[in-house]
A and B are shown apart, each in its own frame.
Chain A
């Protein structure tokens, strides 16, 4: 089944700007094209402007400057009830006085469809709510209510479906299940989904394209793999997963084209970083390496990695997670870095605290960021 019939188009935000009467600028001249039929995530911490952006697209918030188009149709100042856009609200906002079937048929009825029984049936089947049709919202569980909110929006076959932290109110287990569910439904109906979330794992597992927002701007936009492996700023590096950032000085370049590498001196050891992963022109930079890319081995044994290895590090903390082990390692220059190691059993035990280790990584996994940026930017406390 495909709901995405007829001529639609990409969602295009041009110079979109939001300034509240109290002077707070929530969204700063945002330019963004969201291709038709894609699953797009706006990811960022609270207050980054992602929800405001979504509400402007829905028409629930006035636009200060800029424009919003769907295909060739401009909707910047259209009334919310005249936009081909529907929203799944954060706390669902289901109508408490109506049954599930009535909630779902609310949109079609306002658009003049007298008896939308068949499409209601179809959408309730898609969202596995057929048995709940005559219940009231308060009689349903959180996950079921979430699906009603989705069905109520989907039945209208909007050009763009907006999801505002749709899984935020669910517990972790249900959230993971619903992520898979949402993704399946999006693939089935083929509509454009714009998903706002602060949960990086949620954004990465579901979206084709993720835009990381910070302070009203888009920091970086790309496929989850691209964002994670090649972040352009310390904010993105820290907000998506964890990163070790080590100070380095550029000492030269080698090779050309795709093979070009930048040589960076890191407290006496020279590391090679692919030029496509270098995001600063300055002499100084942050060398970034993800903890799971860091390899360690007790002093004297060989490390399975090409290139230089750093001697003289000491394990200062070991935390065993089961599937993996987190090591905290003090480097010779005093900085502590993190290493996640899969417990494949190859090592046959844990490396005890105090062990001297050599540290290395494959050069293709490292990236170089602007040293003027805050190394702590985007670090979030686990909730």
Chain B
């Protein structure tokens, strides 16, 4: 610290914040302002000739009126995927934290292993696995789990499964960090104080793992509700999420103002939900 002060003077803290602050100003604040201004621009402009900012609030009204089903579907799919991730992730994180012994590190590496290949490639490979003439669908048909014309690809099931698969590590890691910090002797103390295994979980382990639960659900829910890759590759036109709509409005329809308005609505909605959720969970100190 003293050495830093010698180089930068008394205000070394500002110098340290500086680079990141400049970066955020250029690559976060500026695009955000641009997005806001586009969302309030006259939609009769074009991406090539530019848009005029006219406080066009009508864009928001139209975005909500036209696209609210996509919004609802996004939150619904992301909610189910988050819940599935929580159930799968909690059991796995619990096992890694308390039961894995010397396999702990190996298991953690395996959890992170999918990140070694790209998100897109992994989702594409699910497209092959779930394909109509693939071995999985054929086997399920043979077992009469699926009907003669049943399919997996291009169904809501495939989209939610894809979301769950892709965001599971983001759930497991914060959960593991929380669980791993819990002193196993607390479990013994609870057993000594007349708690059945289930009570030990609900009264001691679960409340102490709440920071991980909140962290994990946020890291899963937020990107999942804005995702469009899974729906694009594994879904059909009826499984489109708000992310798909924003994408098509930007790229195919070149309707930047409505796309921007929809983005802002999604952002505000999620921030609102997160604030409410964190308050309710009593883990404000996470923010």
Count residues on chain A whose CB falls below 8 Å from chain B CBs: 24
CA distance A82 to B194 in the complex (A): 6
Residues of chain B with a CB closer than 8 A to A365's CB: none
Could you pull out 24 A-B pairs where Cβ atoms are within 8 angstroms? A59-B191, A60-B192, A80-B188, A80-B191, A81-B192, A81-B194, A81-B195, A81-B196, A86-B192, A86-B193, A89-B185, A89-B188, A91-B185, A93-B186, A95-B189, A97-B207, A106-B193, A106-B203, A110-B195, A110-B199, A110-B203, A111-B194, A152-B193, A156-B193
Instruction: Tell whether B252 is near chain A: CB-to-CB under 8 Å.
Output: no
Q: Which residues of the partner chain A approach B66 to less than 8 Å between Cβ atoms?
A: none
A311 at the interface (CB under 8 A from B): no
CA–CA, A153 and B190, complex, Å: 11
Within 8 A of A (CB), among B242-267: none
B140 proximal to A (CB < 8 A):
no
Q: Identify A93's interface contact among B185, B195, B199, B207, CB under 8 A.
A: B185
Nearest A residue (CB) for B187: A93
Is residue A322 within 8 Å, beta carbon to beta carbon, of the partner chain?
no
The answer to whether residues A97 and B208 also contact, given A60-B188, A89-B188 and a CB cut-off of 8 A, is yes
A58–B185 alpha-carbon span in the complex (Å): 13
* Chain B residues with CB under 8 A of A106: 190, 193, 195, 203
Extra contacts, 9 of them, besides A91-B185, A93-B186, A156-B194 (Cβ < 8 A), are A60-B188, A79-B191, A80-B191, A80-B192, A81-B193, A85-B192, A89-B188, A93-B189, A110-B203
For residue A51, CB closer than 8 A to chain B, the reply is no
A182 to B188, CA, bound (A): 23
A153 to B192, CA, bound (A): 9
* Complex Cα–Cα for A349 and B200 (A): 65
Interfacial chain B residues near A93, Cβ < 8 Å? 183, 185-186, 188-189
Q: For chain B, residues 137 to 196, give those with C-beta under 8 angstroms from any C-beta of chain A.
A: 183, 185-186, 188-196
Give the shortest distance, in Å, between B207 (CB) and chain A (any CB): 5
4 smallest beta-carbon distances between A and B, as pairs: A93-B189, A110-B194, A107-B193, A80-B191
Q: Does B136 contact A (CB under 8 A)?
A: no
In the complex, what residues of B have CB within 8 A of residue A152's CB?
193
Compute how far the CA of A79 lies from the CA of B195 in the bound complex, rounded to whole angstroms.
10
Residues of A within 8 A of B208 (CB): 96-97
Give every chain B residue within 8 A of A85 (Cβ-Cβ).
Answer: 192
Q: Which residues of B contact A107 (CB under 8 A)?
A: 193-194
Min Cβ gap A167→B in Å is: 17
**In contact, A87 and B186 (Cβ under 8 angstroms):** no
Q: How many chain-B residues does the 8 Å CB contact rule pick out?
A: 17
Is B80 in the interface zone, CB < 8 Å from A? no
Measured between alpha carbons, how far is A93 from B191 in the docked complex, in Å? 12
Chain B nearest CB from A81 CB (Å) reads: 5
Taking CB atoms, residues of chain B closer than 8 Å to A59 are 191-192
Residues of the A chain whose Cβ atoms lie less than 8 Å from the Cβ of B274: none
Q: Give the residue name and chain of the A residue nearest to B184 (CB).
A: A93
Q: Which of A27-66 contact B (CB under 8 A)?
A: 58-60
Residues of the A chain whose Cβ atoms lie less than 8 Å from the Cβ of B203: 106, 110
Contacts of A153 in B (CB 8 A): 192-193
Selected from A89, A111, A156, the residue in CB contact (under 8 A) with B189 is A89
Chain B neighbourhood of A111, CB < 8 A:
194
**Interface residue from B191, B193, B199 paired with A60 (Cβ < 8 Å):** B191
Residues on A with C-beta less than 8 A from B35 are none
Return the contact of B192 from the options A58, A94, A95, A96 (Cβ within 8 A): A58
B204 at the interface (CB under 8 A from A): yes
Contacts of A156 in B (CB 8 A): 193-194
CA A96 to CA B205, docked complex, whole Å: 11
Cα distance A96–B189 when bound, in Å? 12
Report chain A residues within 8 Å CB of B183.
93
Chain A 163-202 interface residues, beta-carbon cutoff 8 Å to B: none
| Residue of B193, B195, B199, B204 with most chain A CB atoms under a 10 A cut-off | B193
Cα A162 to Cα B207 in complex, Å, equals 27
Q: Separation in Å of the B248 CB from the closest CB of chain A?
A: 47
Question: What is the CA–CA distance of A110 and B200 in the complex, to the nearest angstrom?
Answer: 10
Question: Taking the nearest CB of chain B, how far is it from the CB of A335, in angstroms?
Answer: 47
Q: Kindly state the separation between the CA atoms of A95 and B202 in the bound complex, as whole angstroms.
A: 13
Shortest CB-to-CB span from B286 to chain A, Å, is: 15
C-alpha spacing A79/B190, complex, angstroms: 12
Taking CB atoms, residues of chain B closer than 8 Å to A110 are: 193-195, 199, 203
Query: Which A residues are in CB contact (< 8 Å) with B204?
Result: 95
- Closest Cβ–Cβ distance, residue B63 to chain A (whole Å): 43
Residues of A within 8 A of B195 (CB): 81, 106, 110
Question: How far does the alpha carbon of A96 sit from the alpha carbon of B190 in the complex, in Å?
Answer: 12
Question: Residues of A contacting B192 with CB < 8 Å?
Answer: 58-60, 80-81, 85-87, 153
A71 nearest CB across to chain B (Å) = 19
A97, B181: Cα distance in complex, Å: 13
Q: 1/0 per position for B15-40, CB-CB distance to A under 8 A?
A: 00000000000000000000000000
**Minimum C-beta distance from A178 to chain B (A):** 19
Q: Closest CB of chain A to B102's CB: distance in Å?
A: 14
- Complex Cα–Cα for A352 and B188 (A): 57
Report the separation of the CA atoms of residues A156 and B193 in the bound assembly, to the nearest whole angstrom.
8
A363 to B283, CA, bound (A): 71
Nearest B residue to A102 via CB reads: B203
Give the docked Cα–Cα distance between A110 and B197 (Å).
12
A58 to chain B, nearest CB (A): 6
Name A90-112 residues within 8 Å CB distance of B: 91, 93-97, 106-107, 110-111
